[in-house]
Every structure is written in C-alpha cells, then in structure tokens.
Chains A and B, each alone.
Chain A
Amino acid sequence: MPEPLGLLEAADPAGQVDTLFRFLAVVGSIIMVYVTGYIIYFVIAFRRPKNAPANHIGVQIHDQPVLEFWWTVIPAVLVASLAIASVQILGSINNTAGDVLTVESIGYQFGFAFRYPKIANPIPDEMHVPVNTPITVYVTSRDVIHGFWVPEVRLKADMVPGIINTIRFTPTRIGTYPIICTSFCGALHGKMAAKLVIDSQQDFAKWYNAQGGKGTTGGTGGNAAGVAVALQGGKVEAGQALFGQKCSACHSVGPYAQKIVGPGLGHIFDDSAHPKLVDGDTPTPQNVAKILKNGYQGDIGVMPSSQANAINNADIANLVAYLVSLSKH
C-alpha cells in the first residue's frame, strides 16, 4: 500500500502513524460524502416549488429520538475506537526500548547542532544515524523555541530552552531527509533546516570515527579516570565572571530543576534531593572539577570537556570556588 501522505516512510513509527492517518482519512471521507451527499439531495428534493403558495411550509417535525440516539452513539463509538488506536500507537512511540544511539540536538537561531557520545564538539547541520538502530534524540534550544521535524519520520518535538524533549525512532530507509524547524524562531525561521542522513551501519561507523568518535555505541556516562586538579587558590569573583562567559548559556545558578540545557548548579554541594552528581559521584569539589575537566555524556545531556570549553586548570579552580560559594547560601 502506498504511503497515504505521498511521503516516504523512513523510520519505524512512520508506518504506524500512517495507519492511523489512513483510518482517519477513510472514516473522515465517508462522513464527508454522507454529509455533503445528503445536503445536496435534501436541497434538490425539498426545494420550494416555483409556484408554491406564500404559506407553503415544510414537514413540521421537531425531533426524532431514535435518529438522535444513533447519531450520538455512532460518533461516540468512532471517537472511542480512534482514542484506543491513538493510545496504542502513542504508547509504542513513547516506549521504544533500547536507546542504542543517543544524539542531542540543540537548536539555535538559525540552525541545528548535533552532539554524539564521545565526540567533543557539536556537529552542525547534519545528523547522521545508522539504519535499523533505535535512536533517541534529546532536543533542546540555546535561545528561543524551535521545532525539530523530520516529515519522513512523522515525528516532531519542540526545542524549548530549559527543557529537554525526546524523540525516539528507528531508521529503516537509507537516504537524506530534511529536518525542518516548525516553531517560529525569528527573522530567518523559514531558512532554518538541517539534514537527517540515514547511513548504512558501515557508512555510519566510518563517519563517526572520522568525527573523532570511537565505536558506534555509547550514551552512558563516560568519565575517564580523572586527573586531579589543584583547587587551592580558586577565586570566587574570577569564577563568577568565567561562569557568565562559559557556563550560563546552559546552566542557571538556581536549583537543580531550573534547567536551561543542563541542571541548575546553585546547590550542587548541598542539595538533599540530589545527593549525587550526574555521574553518580558524591558532590565533592574534586569530583565537580573532574566533570569540568573531562566533560560528561549521559541521558541528561552532553557537557563538553575543559579542552572543548577552552578552560585551563586555574579556571576550573576558580569555577569550583564560585560553585562552592553558591552552595553555602
């Protein structure tokens, strides 16, 4: 059966969405044909005769309970079956198991960047994924609300600053497809687009290694053995200034829940609701320094390493001193 939208189905939930769409299109068409057909028939059959007297009236009928019962019950049944089908498909969209590859997409005015596990720098404009591999895309934004839509995948999520939304799909058809911004984001919104490249497994591995990644899987927290950073002599003021330049685009100084891209960092040392750091370590200054040094990758997001962020060990010491000063309040 051809795709009902005249659009390729390039990934796993697309077929299910199209099935639901086909059901709606068939039922909707039947309703439209009946409604329009009856209206045209009634207008022709019950048109006032040309020579009708002035007091010519129609059939004086006020209601017909049997008819009214059925045209309440039948739409209710249709709606109920639609709701059940939608819930089932929604469940399978939301609960796809096994995120074999996790990609983060960050929207900005006016483009998309993509972060992969074990690749330090975000990659602009092109998102590569291997075919037949469950993909989880975490989307968020650096500035205003953007939209992440791949028509051939039939899925969409808004990229909202401070919130991480999720799209899960399994690519099934090798090719290049548009990623389109669907939420108005400023003057050049109409030109904000990127490409989703669905590669064969081999091509993806080749591409991934060329980008500096190692191996095709990942997505769990990945701190290499940390090199201890000397934290003595860190200056709060210098750390505060640096935080504004390097960190504040993604981190607030509010509580953990006040996320921009990453969690709020105002209380990492004294937050009883979050007694562990994102990598599971206890929140000591040295462990925080370790994340700053090595970066972090995990479900919550990707934080670049100190190398990618262009900060040295003295900067790390200053930042840690600043974060410690925040937690004392």
Chain B
Amino acid sequence: MAVASTTTTVAPHAVLDHIHPEPTSFIRKYIFSIDHKVIGIQYMITGMIFFVFAGLLAELIRVQLMHNDGRFVSPETYNQIYSMHGSAMVWMVIIPLVTGGFGNYVMPLQIGARDVAFPWLNLAAFWMFPVAGLLLFASFAVGAPDAGWTEYPPVSLQGPEGTSLWCVAIFLIGVSSTITGINFIVTIVKMRAPGMTFTRMPLFVWSQLATAGLSMIATTALAGALLALFLERTFGIPFYDPRHGGSPILWQHMFWFYSHPAVYIMILPAFGIISEIFPTFARKPIFGYKMIAFSSVAIALLGFMVWAHHMFTSGLVPWLQLPFMIMTMIVAIPTGIKIFSWMATLWGGSIELSPAMLFAIGFLITFTFGGVTGVFLSAVPVDLHAHGTYFVVAHFHYVLYGGSVFGIFAGVYYWWPKITGRLMSETLGKWHFWVTFVAFNCTFLPMHWLGLQGMPRRVGVYADTHDAVFWNQVASISSFFLAAATLLLFANMIYSFVKGKKAGPNPWGARTLEWMIPSPPPYYNFKKVPAVLATPYDFGNPLPYIGLERTAGAEAPAVTRTPAPAH
C-alpha cells in the first residue's frame, strides 16, 4: 500500500527483484552478519564447540563411574560435572543446533525466501548464544551449579555461586530461543514463495513451525522460574523455600512446563531432518505427508499438557496423576504415526545407504526404543519405581542422543555439500555411523537395567549390587568409543575441505528449493523469487517442483498429481 501511494509507483515484482548488496567488510560479512546462512553456520560452529566440551564432561562422568567408590573426582566436583553436562547439552548444544543452526540455514532456503523476517533480531538472538554459553562455562571458576540440569530448589538455593550464573546464562539463551521462535513463525507464515501452500511446505519447515511455537510460548515459563530462583538466591525473596513460605513444587511445575515442551523443541526438528532424508534417499514421496505434518503439531500441543509426568513422585494428589498419565500415553499415538510413516517411506523405495540415510535409519530404531521406554515411564506404577534412576537416564539418552543427535549428524551429512559446496567422504561417514550406532547402544542399553535394579541417577558412588560395576564399565568403555567416533565426523569435515569433490547444486537429486540453487548459495539465495508448482517429494512427477522464472502477478498453476503406478 505504501508503495502504491507514492508518486513514483514501483511494480511489486520490481521490489521483489531488488537485491541488497552483500556487505564487504569482514566484520559485517562473517561476525555480525544479518545473513541467515552465516548466522546458521555461526550457530552450528558454536554449538559444535560446546558439544565437544559437554561431551568431554560426559566422558568424565563415565570415568568416575568405572568404579563404585568415587575414586576419580570428589563428590562436589562430580556433581558440578554432570550438572554442567546436562545443562550445556540441552541449552548450548541441541536446542541451538536444531533451531538456530539447521532452522536458520535451511528453513528460509526451503520456503524460497531471501532471509528470515527479522534479520537484525536474528543477529541479536545469535549473539546471546555464545555469551550465554561462556557465562555458563565460566561458572566453573566460582563453583559450577551442582544440582543437575533441573536445579530443584531448595538444594539449588544452597548451591555454589555459579548457580546464579547458571540462572543468568539459561535466561539469556531462553530469550534468544523465544525471539528466534517468533522470527521463524513470522518467516514461515508470511514469507513463503508464491505457490508454496502449507501442504507444499517441506516437512522440515513444518517441524520448525511447530518448534517455533513451542519455543515462543514455553520458554517464558522457564524465564519466570529462573528469575524467581535468581531473586531468591541473591536477595532472599522466598519463592521456593518452604521455611519462608515458598513452595519447592512451584519450581517443578514452572520448570517442567518449559522443559517438557523443550524435549519436543529438541526432537521435532530432528523429525523434520529425517523427513527430508528418507524421501531423498529412497527416491519416493514421503508416506503420509499430511499425517506427519499434523502429528508434529499434535505432539507440540500435547507437549503443553504432560509436564507433571515428571512429578509423579513429588506428591501430586492421586486424581491429578491420571490426566497427566493419560495425556502422556496419548503422545505415543502421533509419534507412532510418524514412525510407521517413515517405515512405509522406505518400503518400495530405491534406497541408497548414504551416511545421512544411515543416521536417519539409526534414528528410527533408537528413537523408537526411546519412545517405547517413554511409555513405560508414563505408567505411574512403573514410574514410581523407575523415576530418578538410571532407567530414566537411559530413556532420555535414547531420545536425545539416539534421536536429536543422530538427527543432527544426519542433517550435517545431508546439508554439508549445500553449506560448503563440497562432498564428504562416504566411507568415513559410514564408519562414523556404525561405530556410533554400536557404541551408543552399548553405552546406554545397560543403563536400563542398572536403574531398574537399584542405581539412582546423579550419584558418583553406588552400591555394587546386581553387577552394577560391571555394567557401568561396559557403558564407560563403550562411551569412549562413542566419543572417538565423533572424531571421525570432524576428520571427515577436514577431509572435505582439503580433498572433497565439488558438490554441485544438487548432489542427492533432492527436490526441495535449497537444492535448486548453487552450493554454497549466493548471498541473496534466489535472484528471482521462485514460484512453487508442486509438492516437494514427488520424484515421479514430471512437473518440476519450482519455476525459477516467476511470472509477476500470476498465480502458480494448479498442480495435478500424477497417478501412482499400479501396485
């Protein structure tokens, strides 16, 4: 409207065709860039660095648990190590990688946009992340938080000074996460290329949309809880300490009102990643596109109604246990729909076992296992036994490592050629997968029975009943292989930079928009905003997915889906 009212009228398509010049200074180009691709890469690099540190903390945990007498580090140090491992992995690694990293880099390309809706906000959101991460790790200097990543008061009120720093760091990354959520929602709703209806969006975009909604709403509850904890620790305002009229249960409600949706913030984008990979490497349309997209939204909505299943032992009145148990069990249904749809995508395919595909298949198996044990824990009588034990540790590592991290690895192999313009070594990638897959299962599978047979979580010493020392040693030694396997990924990255072949725009023959432009994509992504003509995974469709030459003002032609061959 503003354009039309000026005296020098500019045609709408001329506005669209205007390309901002790329900044020339190093700082504006690589440090404080507003380009979503640069910001996405910044998130990935920063997240990977924190992944290494948080992973090393995990290895220290495993070294301690090689013996049951706590001979490696003191209890105080041990408590700080595992608390920092969890906090860093959740907030400084997985969430930034799957939303800020892959979301930023891939999502605007997949919807045919030149950037996100609010590039400057994106820049601000990114720079909160390394600051928050450094604040978090700086807490080691003054005594790191020691009460686990959940930091339940009142014990966290007694925690070292670093616990307050933890509050600030997590608050900051929460703000970053919230504004990224808002940014992505606006981007996806308002900036899709002409012709890209909601049902023509790639499933990765759907997953980012559902995730962004979760980030935007749930994180505010965490912010409130953190602010109150900080105020109580610093100024003694009694929110949580019952001696002064506070309620320790209040923290648990507010924390889990965020942190259960946070589990879906971590897993939904991984769902999106493998939903791109399965069709590409099976050369088939994704099976049940709409069911996968809607089940992402269903999981996100249900995610807000299950938080108290983390609190079955906290003293909820019995009648309140029931709705939370039943809602939690219901989550299994949309999750099952996704799993079966991915399996059906494999059926009848032309399957190529590239490293990305291997990790996606590995994801399907390990995540399903984590989902099944999640249903175990949803049943209150079983949870009354398993809560707070290594069974829970095993369960969420199957979901977060076997799910989210496998998804991240799959995404790295899938989009690396797009990001760098070079291919990785397939052989190294396959070694990375197989060592990771075997070592992962040997690390976390024994933790199921360790927990069921009496080993609580968050302990640096434990009783050697039911061969607990033996199974902990199995887990520890396997975890060293798991860490070593990750070095193969880094070696592959170096190999790709040094000797990797040029990838070309579309090395996998995928159909989504990011593969229609050069690798790496130019600053402006799309010189002309493309018109989307078809659905993203129809490998048998003679109609191209996009027309790169947009006809100004014209609607995209209706798409007729070619009938599937008789089967």
Q: Which residues of A contact B (CB under 8 A)?
A: 5-7, 13, 16-17, 20-21, 24, 28, 31-32, 35-36, 38-39, 42-43, 46-48, 52, 54, 56-64, 67-68, 71-72, 75-76, 79, 82-83, 85-87, 89-90, 93-94, 143-145, 147, 149, 151, 154-158, 160-165, 178, 180-191, 193, 248, 252, 254, 258-260
Which chain B residues in 303-332 approach chain A with CB under 8 Å? Answer: 313-315, 318, 321-322, 325-326, 329-330, 332
**Does any Cβ of A come within 8 Å of B271's Cβ?**
no
A52 to B387, CA, bound (A): 51
Cβ-closest chain A residue relative to B287: A63
Known A13-B381, A89-B381, A149-B389; further 5 A-B contacts with Cβ < 8 A: A43-B361, A46-B282, A62-B285, A151-B385, A184-B155
A156 and B313 contact, CB distance less than 8 A: yes
A28 and B373 contact, CB distance less than 8 A: yes
Task: List 30 contacting pairs A-B, 8 Å CB cutoff, sorted by A.
Answer: A7-B453, A21-B382, A32-B368, A32-B369, A36-B368, A43-B346, A46-B282, A46-B351, A47-B353, A59-B349, A60-B284, A60-B564, A63-B289, A64-B287, A68-B288, A72-B333, A72-B337, A82-B375, A82-B379, A86-B380, A90-B321, A156-B387, A157-B384, A158-B315, A161-B154, A163-B249, A163-B315, A182-B388, A184-B79, A184-B458
* Complex partner residue of A90 from B380, B458, B541, CB under 8 angstroms: B380
Give the one of B326, B352, B388 with max A CB within 10 A: B388
1/0 per residue B233-268: CB within 8 Å of A? 000000000110101110000000000000000000
* Complex partner residue of B384 from A60, A79, A156, A181, CB under 8 angstroms: A156
**Does any Cβ of A come within 8 Å of B567's Cβ?**
yes
**Does any Cβ of A come within 8 Å of B231's Cβ?**
no
B456 and A181 contact, CB distance less than 8 A: yes
A-B contact number at CB 8 A:
275
Contacts of A260 in B (CB 8 A): 242-243
**Does any Cβ of A come within 8 Å of B70's Cβ?**
yes
A180 and B454 contact, CB distance less than 8 A: yes
Contacts of B179 in A (CB 8 A): none
B339 and A35 contact, CB distance less than 8 A: yes
Contacts of A184 in B (CB 8 A): 79, 147-148, 152, 155, 458
* Complex partner residue of A144 from B148, B154, B340, B389, CB under 8 angstroms: B154
A187 and B76 contact, CB distance less than 8 A: yes
Contacts of B466 in A (CB 8 A): 6-7
B interface residues, tally (CB under 8 Å):
97
B336 and A71 contact, CB distance less than 8 A: yes
* Complex partner residue of B248 from A28, A145, A154, A190, CB under 8 angstroms: A145
* 10 cross-chain pairs, A with B, having the tightest CB-CB distances, nearest first: A162-B242, A182-B388, A59-B348, A190-B459, A58-B349, A60-B540, A58-B284, A144-B155, A42-B346, A151-B454
Give the one of B313, B336, B344, B375 with max A CB within 10 A: B313
* Complex partner residue of B351 from A48, A93, A155, CB under 8 angstroms: A48
Contacts of B350 in A (CB 8 A): 46, 48, 52, 56-58
How far is the CB of A320 from the nearest CB of chain B, in Å?
23
**Does any Cβ of A come within 8 Å of B463's Cβ?**
yes
A13 to B146, CA, bound (A): 34
A46 and B347 contact, CB distance less than 8 A: yes
B315 and A248 contact, CB distance less than 8 A: no
| CB contact under 8 A between A93 and B372, given known A58-B348, A144-B155, A161-B242 | no
A154 to B248, CA, bound (A): 25
| CB contact under 8 A between A61 and B285, given known A21-B376, A46-B347, A184-B155 | yes
Contacts of A86 in B (CB 8 A): 325, 379-382
Contacts of B346 in A (CB 8 A): 39, 42-43, 46
* Complex partner residue of B453 from A43, A57, A151, CB under 8 angstroms: A151
B368 and A35 contact, CB distance less than 8 A: yes
How far is the CB of B324 from the nearest CB of chain A, in Å?
12
A188 to B459, CA, bound (A): 9
Give the one of B76, B332, B382, B564 with max A CB within 10 A: B382
Contacts of A143 in B (CB 8 A): 154
| CB contact under 8 A between A39 and B337, given known A60-B562, A189-B459, A190-B459 | no
A157 to B321, CA, bound (A): 13
Contacts of B326 in A (CB 8 A): 83
How far is the CB of B198 from the nearest CB of chain A, in Å?
16
Cβ-closest chain B residue relative to A255: B245
Cβ-closest chain A residue relative to B567: A59
A39 to B353, CA, bound (A): 13
1/0 per residue B355-377: CB within 8 Å of A? 00000010011001100110110
Contacts of B379 in A (CB 8 A): 20, 24, 82, 85-86
* Complex partner residue of A157 from B158, B315, B347, CB under 8 angstroms: B315
How far is the CB of A64 from the nearest CB of chain B, in Å?
7
A7 to B509, CA, bound (A): 53
B387 and A76 contact, CB distance less than 8 A: no
A195 to B22, CA, bound (A): 70
Contacts of A72 in B (CB 8 A): 333, 336-337
Cβ-closest chain B residue relative to A183: B388
A189 to B289, CA, bound (A): 48
Contacts of B290 in A (CB 8 A): 63
| CB contact under 8 A between A155 and B384, given known A46-B346, A58-B350, A145-B152 | yes
Contacts of B284 in A (CB 8 A): 57-61
Cβ-closest chain A residue relative to B251: A145
Contacts of A259 in B (CB 8 A): 242
B349 and A93 contact, CB distance less than 8 A: no
A94 and B463 contact, CB distance less than 8 A: no
**Does any Cβ of A come within 8 Å of B168's Cβ?**
no
* Complex partner residue of A182 from B245, B339, B387, CB under 8 angstroms: B387
B456 and A252 contact, CB distance less than 8 A: no
* Complex partner residue of B388 from A61, A75, A90, A156, CB under 8 angstroms: A156
**Does any Cβ of A come within 8 Å of B461's Cβ?**
yes
**Does any Cβ of A come within 8 Å of B449's Cβ?**
yes
How far is the CB of B371 from the nearest CB of chain A, in Å?
9
A191 to B74, CA, bound (A): 12
A46 and B154 contact, CB distance less than 8 A: no
A165 to B291, CA, bound (A): 42
A16 to B379, CA, bound (A): 13
A160 and B382 contact, CB distance less than 8 A: no
Which chain B residues in 525-567 approach chain A with CB under 8 Å? Answer: 538-541, 561-562, 564-565, 567
Cβ-closest chain B residue relative to A29: B372
Cβ-closest chain A residue relative to B321: A90
**Does any Cβ of A come within 8 Å of B460's Cβ?**
yes
A79 and B329 contact, CB distance less than 8 A: yes
A147 to B454, CA, bound (A): 13
1/0 per residue B20-63: CB within 8 Å of A? 00000000000000000000000000000000000000000000
Contacts of B333 in A (CB 8 A): 72, 75-76, 79
B562 and A67 contact, CB distance less than 8 A: no
* Complex partner residue of B329 from A7, A82, A149, CB under 8 angstroms: A82
A210 to B460, CA, bound (A): 37
A17 and B382 contact, CB distance less than 8 A: yes
Cβ-closest chain B residue relative to A28: B372
* Complex partner residue of B283 from A7, A42, A58, A180, CB under 8 angstroms: A58
